[in-house]
Amino acid sequence: MTATATGKSLHIYSSKESLSFNPIRKTKTNHLKFTKTLFSPNSRCHCLAIRASTNSLTILNDSPTLSNPDHQLRVQILSESLPYIQKFRGKTIVVKYGGAAMKSAELKASVVRDLVLLSCVGLRPVLVHGGGPEINVLLNQLNIPSQFRDGLRVTDARTMEVVSMVLVGKVNKDLVSRINFAGATAVGLSGMDGCLLTARPSPNAAQLGFVGEVARVDPTVLQPLVDIGHIPVIASVAADEFGQPYNINADTVAGEVAAALGAEKLILLTDVAGILRNREDPGSLVKEIDIKGVKKMIEDGKVAGGMIPKVNCCIRSLAQGVRTASIIDGRVEHSLLHEIMTDEGAGTMITG
């Protein structure tokens, strides 16, 4: 069976060959090749090979059809992914990781696999994380009470020490280890490493303690890691000019890092579907909106509560040159791939 078409292409052929499995690889002629063979007892081997190029589409098969629906679906997914891979290849994507995706083992594994896959096909992901649930666990074990004001953790000296221990020493290294095990190369950093972030006290420091804001980003230590294909994993802790550590909101850190790197996209993983026109109606998801439109939603009270700082973070990053910012549902497995590799997306995309 043969089919050809102009433009982007997908080549499929099968043959009676021995078993092998080869991952996607780039050839000298800019083809992407993926091969998979399958067999069952008392049956002959069959090899499915997919080759993507930019010139034509050819499908060759020595059997009448691909009868297994799973194989057809995989072919379709790979074919549809090609233009997105071409669009984002070599581009920096900053992802803020937290919420439900941090609590569930399945969702955590999903995020790690998505990051590694994106890195393998040529994107440049950067991961920024918080770690609220893990901080709460250790504070409880140490009998240190947790206090919050306006959604922000009140951070005295003892709490700040615990925050640093958990975010830098535990959560960060766990994520680095998982990404490395999955096949990429991750490097763990905090805002203090290489003076990546310089903090300043928040305007409400008297009530919040050592809760800070990002005063400055110096990507000198970060950019070379991105350029060579490593995945930086950044804990949202930084020090001020006098060396005092501060706990900084991870959304804020992600937005400022994205701006400093000139990222193509900022993605915030959250525990909601995205921005809703009606907060009581999950089906009222806003798929895409510009800065003017989302500011109007804030004025009208349609965006409120904890969503406001996330939206403001996106607006600020867009104003500093980030191309798009998305607030997506981190409760959905592989939401990162849905957002980057499909037209449908996985939440709300805000444009400049």
Residues in the chain: 352
Which positions ≥6 away from 73 have C-beta within 8 Å? none
Segment 104-117 mean pLDDT: 91
Residue 328 pairs in a beta bridge with 269, 347
Distant-in-sequence, close-in-space partners of 186: CB < 8 Å, separation ≥ 6: 127, 175, 176, 179, 180, 230, 231, 232, 233
User: Assign residue 262 a region: left if phi > 0, alpha if psi is -120 to 50, beta otherwise?
Assistant: left
Rounded Cα distance between 168 and 300, Å, is: 39
pLDDT digits (tens, 9 = 90+) for 186-210: 999 999 999 999 999 999 888 899 9
Please name which of 12, 82, 69, 7 lies closest in space to residue 46, comparing C-alpha atoms: 12
Helices and strands counted in the chain (H then E)? 12, 19
From residue 287, alpha-carbon distances to 111, 276, 326, 347 in Å are 21, 9, 9, 6
Q: What is the distance between the alpha carbons of residues 342 and 266, in angstroms, rounded to a whole number?
A: 16
Of 45-59, 121-135, 171-185, give the lowest mean pLDDT range.
45-59
Q: What is the pLDDT of residues 153-194, one digit of tens each?
A: 889 999 999 999 999 999 999 999 999 999 999 999 999 999
Kindly report the average pLDDT of the chain as a whole number.
82
Strand 9-15 versus strand 46-53 pairing type: antiparallel
Q: Give the least confident one: 101-110, 115-124, 128-137, 268-277.
A: 101-110
User: Integer distance in angstroms from the first to the last C-alpha of the chain?
Assistant: 46
- Binned at pLDDT 50, 70 and 90, residue 211 comes out as very high
pLDDT of residue 65: 53
Report the alpha-carbon distance of residue 288 to residue 260 in Å, rounded.
24
Tokens of 5: 């078409």
Tell whether the model's pLDDT for residue 35 goes beyond 50: no
Tokens (6 digits) for 124: 């440049």
**Structure token pair of residue 132:** 């609220």
Query: Any bridge partners for residue 209, and if so which?
Result: 155
Rounded to 10 deg, the angle between the 307-319 and 250-261 helix axes is: 10
pLDDT higher than 80, residue 46: no
With 0-12 / 13-18 / 19 or more C-beta atoms within 10 angstroms meaning exposed / middle / buried, residue 78 is middle
Is the pTM for the entire model greater than 0.85? no
Which of the given ranges, 84-88, 92-96, 137-141, has the highest pLDDT on average? 92-96
pLDDT of residue 102: 80
Instruction: Enumerate domains of the chain plus CATH numbers.
Output: 80-351 (3.40.1160.10)
Task: Measure the CA–CA gap between 85 and 277, rounded to whole angstroms.
Answer: 31
Instruction: Please give the single-letter amino acid code of residue 327.
Output: I
Tokens representing 263? 């990222």
